[in-house]
Chains A and B, each alone.
Chain A
Amino acid sequence: MLMPEPDNAIIARREEIIEAMRGIVAGEGVIFGEEELRAYDCDGLMAYKQLPLIVVLPETTQQVSQILKYSHENDVKIVPRGAGTGLSGGALPLADAITLGLGKFKDIVEIDFENRCVVTQPGVTNLALTQAVEHAGFYYAPDPSSQIACSIGGNVAENSGGVHCLKYGLTTNNVLGVELVLMNGDIVRIGGKHLDSDGYDLLGVIAGSEGLLGVITEVTVRILQKPETAKAVLLGFDSNEAGGDCVAAVIGEGIIPGGMEMMDTFAIQAAEDFVHAGYPLDVTSLLIVELDGPAAEVDYLVGRVEAIGRAQNARYIKVSESEEEREKFWSGRKAAFPAVGRISPDYMCMDGTIPRGQLAHVLNRMAELSKKYELRVANVFHAGDGNLHPLILFDSNEPGELENAEKFGADILRLCVEVGGVLTGEHGVGVEKRDLMGEMFTEDDMKQQQRLKCAFDPEQLLNPGKVYPTLHRCAELGKMHVHRGQLAFPDIPRF
């Protein structure tokens, strides 16, 4: 992974930068010892590691503002970091950049049940948000599987999803406002407790901007009342085609389940060996369909999903009969990653999204690729929205296997784009998929996206080297290559 060439002039000024940071953040908030920096050398994408110049852990928005202002004036790059659970390397440090950790922003600022929202600092974990409101029956809907550790600020930066986002939306659909510090130190508030943005929808572009536009110091999220009840249905099929057809039939009948997950043979076996979820082992694909809502609705929809399953020749159908059993059904799916981790020294998780109708084709092609690269692959899949998570098994101690796995992964993502899908459904581009952006976007597409960055961060000091494969100077991006008089007058009807 090629990162931008570090600026040696900045590295040479390290001591001076440390002093300046200690003037802003007292005590242990400035980290510069090599041993301590080691804890920050990667995020959830552990294949790539880099020691940051230094790490700074501010505690107030004012401090964030001062840090950014100093960095802006002194040409120092900034890599924002939440809980460091991201899977695409968005928080991968740079040798010449300050890693700005928001881990000390741990307070919930306000809980407002009347307006159904919570105002929180960005370092609060996704799960802690739900825990803060569950005494009143509320929860925060987006639930990435790292929810015990991932922070809400990171969720906004990555526009995180989870198993329930088909029905309840991604982070972007559940965020009402942010306080954001711009690279020049300006503090702005975007949105609030009201629903619609005024002017350009800046909140909409900040969600999923992967730390390239600003540093989030406060978030307002919508909370929902928990559904009265939930039941899960397991459906086993003889082929991936049949499983995929069943998903299409459920949606075709107008049912949007709270969650709809699919696993292939390998993933079923690994999960069952690991947590004994009670999965059938003689099926080729397994669906978990969760229905939530009032009991009257859940029972009615469970009946319909069972009927659809039978019509689609499910060879195995089981409905959870207790909350305990429902959780058991989910335990296998939720443990799929560690289950695969148990049988392989390393694994790499991909994240493409495809039109669901292409599922069987994509899985078959993936099986061919698996043979070609001589690497095993297990598939878990947010079936409702077409988001694939192929897990490529490899051993980084074997020479060449990491590179081989990377190539295999890249081929899978190219395949996703080829069938009309996208590179990433919820994990983000980061550094991991940066060099594949050209598979999906033209140079003009990416330049136009980067012009948005220029509006927020004209000097491109925030998280450079992430998301976009080529760094263009904003002045270059701003130039217009048109020449008066040399263009043909448009040959279109005039009235």
Chain B
Amino acid sequence: MTEILKAENDQQVLETLKWAAAEEKPLEVRGGRSKSSLGRPTEIDHVLDLSALSGVTYYEPSELVLAAGAATPVAEVEAALTENNQQMAFEPPDLGPLMGIAAGQGTLGGLLSCNLAGPRRIKAGSARDHFLGFNAVSGRGEEFKSGGRVVKNVTGFDLSKLLAGSYGTLAVMTEVTLKVLPAPEKVRTVLISWSKDGIYDHGGVKALTDAMASAHEVSGAAHLPAAIAKRSAVDYVAGSGRAVTAIRVEGPEPSVAHRCDALKSLLGKYGDMEELHTANSTVLWREIRDVACFADEHDRDVWRISVPPASGSRVALKILEGRPGEALYDWSGGLIWLALNPTPDACASVVRQTVAEFGGHAMLVRAPEAVRLRVPVFEPQDGALENITRRIKEGFDPHGILNPGRMYEET
């Protein structure tokens, strides 16, 4: 029987963790529950519910800094930022629908704990690059903080980076501080429509790396094979029945117009060129950001694969050889979202062998619980790195009370 402990404030988080550390009671750390199926499945008797730690506590648009309770809904933060024409530049994805739940459930703490980022990752960095500081309670039952409320700071180890992507296994964040940035005035997308029929994954990734190597400050670079493009809500993308490569530029109007023209002449050799303006661009990049193309067929396993951008299509096509599935390319080819027909091991060995050949790592994002127990969800570590991971965990959470097993079976 799961028991839910609902902390109403920082002090109760501290008390709960002191108790859990003393009694060696593992806790599942929960914000909005939107990512509960992300990571290894765990069976933990006690849940620490942080949902009360919600609300923006500090926001100075001209300082480019925002602080909020860890369980503040991402949507609430986005609304506050939009009012001031600002944004979280790493373009937080909403993976709810991909994971089979409603959109809009995510919290700031969850977003940072999983270090997620959308298409703008290639220009603006990931959540970790915008994470300035936090207050937290360690698995030792001790309050500590790191970082600050200014955008430039090298005082002490950068523990924000460590907590970003630690899936709640090191400490329970109570308040987080982010760097925010102005939202762009205009958005446009240059589309390359490839000839009918044929596989254009290699061509698409080549076009993306060409665009990224230009001076045009590309802020989104994705390739949609024909079958994926067909499922877009944007007519220009879906209508042609062709593979589509999408390149986004953002900024003031004169700049965006100039860079679009320059990109069209740079990439015209690849196929027919089309241009999307702000409204259609917004829809398309949200679809890419949230991996909407794989949100409907829930029986398929989904991998998130990070590789050197130029090798994206080679990695994906090699895995897909003889295996029914689809690949969506983001981050100029450096991020592959791969959907595969269900198998007992989600094709883990071929995925990991192929990724190892090119450098990078793979995470099994969506698969039945039994599969995610059988197959390492995160890239397995070995030797010295595994030792460091284990020792870091012990330093922050010696009794293993925080989300034990969420990342690796042993930590």
Contact = CB atoms under 8 A, between A and B. Distances in A.
Contacts of B214: 225
Which range holds the interface residue count of chain B?
A: 35 or more
Interface in B365-400: 378-379, 381, 383-385, 388-389, 391-392, 394-396, 398-399
Interface of B: 3-8, 12, 15-16, 18-19, 21-23, 49, 60-65, 85, 115, 117, 121-122, 125-126, 128-129, 138, 140-146, 148-162, 164-166, 170, 181-183, 185, 209, 212-217, 251-255, 257-259, 262, 306-310, 331, 334-335, 359-361, 363, 378-379, 381, 383-385, 388-389, 391-392, 394-396, 398-399, 407-408
Contacts of A12: none
Given A195-B306, A208-B154, A444-B142, 5 more contacts: A161-B154, A173-B125, A186-B383, A190-B385, A490-B19
A458 B160 CA distance: 22
Q: Which of A182, A248, A355 has the most CB of B within 10 A?
A: A355
Contacts of A226: 215
A421 B154 CA distance: 12
A385 B150 CA distance: 8
A426 B306 contact: no
A420 B258 contact: no
Q: Which of B141, B151, B185, B216 has the most CB of A within 10 A?
A: B151
A204 B129 CA distance: 9
A251 B185 CA distance: 14
B152 A467 contact: no
B15 A188 contact: no
A490 B145 contact: no
Contact of A159 (B3, B141, B154): B154
A387 B379 contact: no
Contacts of B122: 195
A201 B21 contact: no
Which 6 pairs, one residue from A and one from B, show the smallest C-beta to C-beta distance? A204-B161, A297-B255, A451-B395, A254-B182, A193-B308, A198-B361
Contacts of A445: 144-146, 156
Given A165-B152, A296-B254, A478-B395, A198 B22 contact: no
Contacts of A297: 251-252, 254-255, 258
Which range holds the interface residue count of chain A?
A: 35 or more
Contacts of B385: 188, 190, 199, 202
Q: Which of B159, B214, B381 has the most CB of A within 10 A?
A: B159
A130 B381 CA distance: 34
A296 B153 contact: no
A455 to B, nearest CB: 4
A296 B257 CA distance: 9
A197 interface: yes
Contacts of B19: 487-490
Interface stretch (A39-47, A67-75, A390-398, A434-442): A434-442
11 contacts: A115-B309, A188-B383, A194-B334, A198-B306, A198-B378, A200-B389, A201-B166, A204-B160, A355-B149, A385-B151, A486-B22
A437 B146 CA distance: 12
Contacts of A296: 254-255, 257-258
Nearest to A441: B156
Nearest to B408: A199
A455 B181 contact: no
Contacts of B391: 454-456, 458
A201 B161 contact: yes
A200 B162 contact: yes
B162 A357 contact: no
Contacts of A207: 158, 161
Interface string A125-159: 00000000000010000000000000000000011
Interface string A439-474: 011101111110111111010000000010000000
Given A357-B63, A440-B155, A199 B8 contact: no
A9 interface: no
A254 B85 contact: yes
Interface in A70-110: none
B303 to A, nearest CB: 13
